[in-house]
Amino acid sequence: MTDAQSYMGKLITIDRYILEQQQSHPEATGTLTNLLYDLALAAKIIASKTTRAGLAEILGSAGEENVQGEEVQKLDAFAQRTIFRLNDHTGRLAVMASEEVEDVIPIPERFSVGPYVLVFDPLDGSSNIDMNVSIGTVFGIYRRKTTTGRGALEDVLQPGRALVAAGYILYGASTMMVYSTGQGVHGFTLDPAIGEFLLSHPHLMLPAKPKYYSVNQGYQPYWAPGVQAYTAWLQHDTPEKPGLSLRYIGSLVADFHRNLLAGGVFYYPADHKDPQKPGGKLRLVYEANPLAFLIEQAGGYASDGARAILDIQPEQLHQRVPLFIGNRILVEQAEMLLHQQDATVAA
Ligand code: P6P
C-alpha cells in the first residue's frame, strides 16, 4: 500500500497531520509545527474574505502602489496584514519578507525573535480578484542564518535548497492548503461548514504522463528562439510524450496546482517585450523558490532555463527570474533547447 493509499478515507485535520509529521523528528521543538498552524489560520481568515470579494466593499484598489508599481487591491493589503499580525508576536520568527513590502519586515522590538524566517507572497494573482479567478498565497520557511540580533536580509536571501518548508493556499472553487516539510507534498481542503482543513490529497506526486503546458502565448513574438522551439516541441507528439494541451489561467498558484495534479510544465520565460522585466516576471524568493521546493518533493524539477531554481543564490529581495517548472523531462528539454540556442548564437 502506498503512503497515499494508507490515508485514503481517513478524516484527518491539517493540525493533526502536521503534528503526526513532527513526530518523525524527535529533535523537533514544535516551533515549525506551530508556524504551520498559524499559516493555516491565516488561510482561513483570508479565505473568509476572498469568498466574499465580489460582495464586500473590499473590491477595487486600495489606491496604494506596491514596490512592483502595481495597484494594491484591498484584498492584497488585507492578506499582508493578516499574515504579519499572526506572526509578528509569536517568537517563532527572526524576520519576514513579503512581495508587498520593499524591505525585509523586522519583528517589532516589543516581541522576541525566533529561529525561523518567513517569506511570502500574500496574494498572488490579485489582478484576477475582480474577475473571480482563483488566486493564491505562496510561502517559504527557512531557519535563520544569522546568530545574533533580530534577523536580517541575509536570513531572507538564502538559496531555495535551504528551505525547511514551503507551500501555498489556493482560493478557488474550494480553498486548499498544500505544503511540504521535506516529507512529501500534502493537500488539504477547507470545509467551510466546520472551518477545518481536511486531508484530501496525501503524498501528491506529479503524474508520469504530463497533460498540459502553461505559458502566456501572447508574448510569443518576444521570446528567444530557444523558447519558440521549446513551445513547438511541447505541442507535437514526440517519443517522450504526446503533444500537450495549453492551459493558462494567468494566476501562478492556480496554474501550478493544476499541473501538479495533472502533470505538465508551467513557464514564464524572459521576454524582450517589457524592458523592465528582462529576466522574466516572477520573483525568485517568494514565488519560484517555494514552488520549486514543492515540485522537487513531488518528483519534478524547476529551472531558470539553465540551472535549478533551488541552487540560485538570491542577490535582491524582489529579483525576478525566468521559471520553467513541472515534470523533470519537460523542464530539462527547455534547458537543452535554450542551451542549444545560446550555442548557436555564440557560434
Ligand atoms: P501575465 C499574476 O499577476 C502573476 O504574478 C502570476 O500569478 C501569473 O502567473 C503571472 O503574473 C501572469 O502574468 O504576464 O501572463 O499576465
pLDDT tens digits along 107-149: 999 999 999 999 999 999 888 888 889 999 999 999 999 999 8
Ligand 1 center to 267 CA (angstroms): 11
What's at 38, amino acid-wise?
A: D
* CATH 3.40.190.80 domain residues, the chain: 212-346
In CATH terms, 3-203 corresponds, of 3.30.540.10, 3.40.50.300, 1.10.287.610, 3.40.50.150, to 3.30.540.10
**Three-state DSSP class for 67?**
coil
Ligand 1 shell residues, CB under 6 Å: 124-125, 127, 216, 250-252, 255, 281
Place of cell 511541447: 234
Q: How confident is the model at residue 74 (pLDDT cuts 50, 70, 90)?
A: confident
- Give the count of alpha carbons within 13 A of 318, CB side only: 15
- For residues 136 and 124, give the distance between their C-alpha atoms in angstroms, rounded to a whole number: 5
Q: Which residues, at least 6 apart from 57, have a Cβ–Cβ distance to it below 8 Å?
A: none
Closest C-alpha to ligand 1, atom 13: 250
> Other C-beta atoms within 10 Å of 47: how many?
22
Amino acid 346: pLDDT: 67
**Per-residue pLDDT at 8:** 65
Cα–Cα distance, 34 to 254 (Å, whole number): 26
- Mean pLDDT of the region 235-244: 94
pTM for the structure as a whole: 0.93
* Averaged pLDDT of the chain: 91
Phi and psi for 191 in degrees, rounded to 5?
-95, 100
Residue 206 phi, psi (nearest 5): -60, 135
Which pLDDT does position 11 carry in this prediction?
86
Q: What is 212-346's CATH number? A: 3.40.190.80
Choose among 336, 246, 318, 304: nearest CA to 68: 318
Report whether 164 contacts 22 (CB < 8 A). Answer: no
Residue with CA at minimum distance from ligand 1 atom 4 = 125
Distance CA 227, CA 231 (A): 6
Copy the grid coordinates of residue 260.
Answer: 501538479
Q: Which atom of ligand 1 is nearest to the CA of 135?
A: 7
Question: Which residue matches cell numbers 501550478?
Answer: 256
What pLDDT score does 156 carry? 98
DSSP tag of 225: H
pLDDT more than 90, % of the chain: 74
Hey, which of 281, 282, 323, 324 would you mutate to test ligand 1's pocket, going by the most ligand atoms within 8 Å of its Cβ?
Answer: 281
Burial of 146 (0-12, 13-18, 19+ CB in 10 A): middle
With beta carbons less than 8 A apart as the criterion, state whether 263 and 298 touch.
no
> CA 193 to CA 149: how far, in whole Å?
44
Whole-angstrom distance, CA of residue 91 vs CA of residue 144: 13
Cα of 228 to ligand 1 centre, how many Å?
Answer: 19
CA of 107 to the centre of ligand 1 (A): 30
Categorize the per-residue pLDDT at 24 as very low, low, confident or very high, splitting at 50, 70 and 90.
confident
SS3 271: coil
Cα-to-centroid distance, 20 and ligand 1 (Å): 36
- For residue 277, the model assigns a pLDDT of 75
Nearest CA to ligand 1 atom 9: 252
Nearest CA to ligand 1 atom 16: 250
